[in-house]
Amino acid sequence: MRMTGAGYTVVVPTAGRASLRALLASLDSGTGPAPAEVLVVGTPTETPEISLPVRVLPGGTRNDGWRAANTAWVVFLDEDVRLPADWRERLTVDLTALPARVAASRGHLVVPPATGGRRPTEDERRDAEHAHGWSLADFACRHEVLAALGGFDDRLSAPGADFVERLRRAGFDVEHGARLALRPSRQRGFFASVLEQRVHADAALLRRKHGTPAAPLGRHLLATAAGFATAGLAVARKPEGAAAAGAAWLGLTVDSALRRILPGPRSRAEVARMAVTSALIPPAAVFSRLYGEISALREKPRTPRAILFDRDDTIIVNEPYLNDPKLVRPMPGAEQVLRRLREAGVPVGIVSNQSGIARGLITPGQLAEVNARVEELLGPFGTWQVCVHGEADGCACRKPKPGLVRQAARALGVRPRDCVVIGDIGADVEAARAAGATGILVPTSRTREEEVRSAPHVARDLVEAVGLAIGERSW
């Protein structure tokens, strides 16, 4: 069961840097309530021996981390931050007694100033700027909100701002906590500033998702055009034109390099790095933006999709062979997730085995009354697909056969492969698989262990199941 209150799991994405060991050591040595677990995702090096429980998810992402967490809160830390001794204490204070509308808390990132009285390098200046942005270097979020929003968009190189925008549009707030985290600047690779231009590809996606205007490329576009014009005119044996274009390219490149060199320490290594990368950044930025724009144009419009729910022990509490509408009780979270799905325009339907009719324990009229009560409490469903046969009848609709799922998809005007089926037993998942849909299991006391082990996706509750469906299906 998920913990309540300020119980938290720490998720650390890693690229295998040595700094991971220092982060885990600082987390381990702190005072205050310890995390329930530390989940290291990515490509870690060997983790140090610490007293905290550590689990490694090789090749994982932040999304894999929070989905594996089992606490009310998930705290994301970058592997290059350092935590003061009171970080855990301050985190607990930050997360305790927050109103429900506050879904996330961000820590203050402190970037140490340049040492020895020298001017900061470009890397140090960038780190100081990023400390004030929507970084996920020290970011705590409610597990249920991560599930409801589907987590982070892994297509983005820096998903923090996008997640906060979606969070706010969903009616939640983010608060700045009192905790501090130290983020020492690190020397990046020689061409790091060139590789960072991939953020320009993000701009097209963010504009598509949120209407966020993309920053103009301006000088980058002029420098790239001048560079290609120089090469083209030279190949065409037009030396005067090539010289003019080359002079324009050189002037723009030198100006860019000086803008980056002058605020820094002006060391030989820094000057060389700025000179070379200033020539490469403009085309990298332009081609990154071009790639993003083309990808956005090629992205097909989202086709209608649907979520299909089992009835008993999924959206209402199971009562064996339920024939009395007065006994209908919604499952926790059912009303909330169904309301959000309808507001988002996602069709919802029911696929349910009701063999009580074949057994003579329920009449068709009683079944209709119960289902009407379900809609009275939880709202309308786009389709009800119910199998009234017994196991020995040999029908094509009784789950785990795919008939109900296919019929529901047809009724909603979508393809079975565009549906997600959420249920509490293996037959629900098997019916989804047989129909070509995605199945998500929400185990209850009726669910067998082997069904949990064999399910492709498992959620701890209905809210998380819908969040998982939305996240994986890009709704």
Which residues are catalytic, by number?
310, 312
**Two tokens at 2?**
């998920």
3-state SS, 365-419, equals: HHHHHHHHHHHHHHCCCCEEEEECCCHHHCCCCCCCCCHHHHHHHHHHCCCHHHE
Q: Give the residue among 48, 51, 97 at the shortest CA–CA distance from 73.
A: 97
Per-residue exposure over 292-309, b if at least 16 CB sit within 10 Å of its own CB, e if not = bbeebeeeeeeeebbbbb
- 123 and 111 in contact (C-beta within 8 Å)? no
CA angle 61, 187, 59 (to 5 degrees): 15
Phi and psi of 8, rounded to 5°? -145, 155
Residues 102, 241: Cα–Cα separation, whole Å: 60
Helix (H) / strand (E) element for 123: namely helix 122-130
Distance from the Cα of residue 420 to its chain's centroid:
18
**Two tokens at 160?**
């923090």
Residues 20, 13: Cα–Cα separation, whole Å: 9
- What's 330's DSSP letter? B
Beta-carbon neighbour count of residue 46 at 10 Å? 9
Q: At 45, is the secondary structure helix, strand, or coil?
A: coil
Q: How many Cα atoms within 13 Å fall on the side-chain side of residue 408?
A: 37
- 10 and 73 in contact (C-beta within 8 Å)? no
Helix (H) / strand (E) element for 297: namely helix 268-298
- 65 and 39 in contact (C-beta within 8 Å)? yes
Helix (H) / strand (E) element for 222: namely helix 219-235
Distance from the Cα of residue 274 to its chain's centroid:
34
